Amino acid sequence: MATTTTIDISSIEPIGHREGARLAEEEYRRFTALIGRLEPEAWDRQTDCTGWTARDMADHVVGAMRSAASFRETLRQQREYSGGPRPTAGAKSTT
């Protein structure tokens, strides 16, 4: 049986950008090591998330990593997701 611990988030001290980047880098390293150990047949197995395979989950996490690493990538993903207009080379913003 799983146990749950509740923590009041207002009691957690904020961290700075450098600390956040260091923590993210370590977690990305751990994630990469984890998926690197998957057997080929494991990639198409269902996860606890209905409709998501291990491949889907890995793609999602890698997309989030790319977005976190680049503001340009964040914008590209948002436009793709929303079906919004794609910028063209040399185009100026109308806003």
Residue range 7-32, pLDDT digits in tens: 999 999 999 999 998 998 999 999 99
Supply the DSSP symbol for 49.
S
Distance CA 4, CA 63 (A): 29
Residue range 63-95, pLDDT digits in tens: 888 888 888 888 888 888 776 555 454 444 444
pLDDT at 46 over 80: yes
pTM: 0.62
Predicted local confidence at residue 69, as pLDDT: 82
Please enumerate, as own/partner, the contacts of 67-73 that have beta carbons within 8 Å and a separation of 24 or more: 68/24
pLDDT confidence of 39, banded at 50, 70, 90? Answer: very high
Predicted local confidence at residue 83, as pLDDT: 67
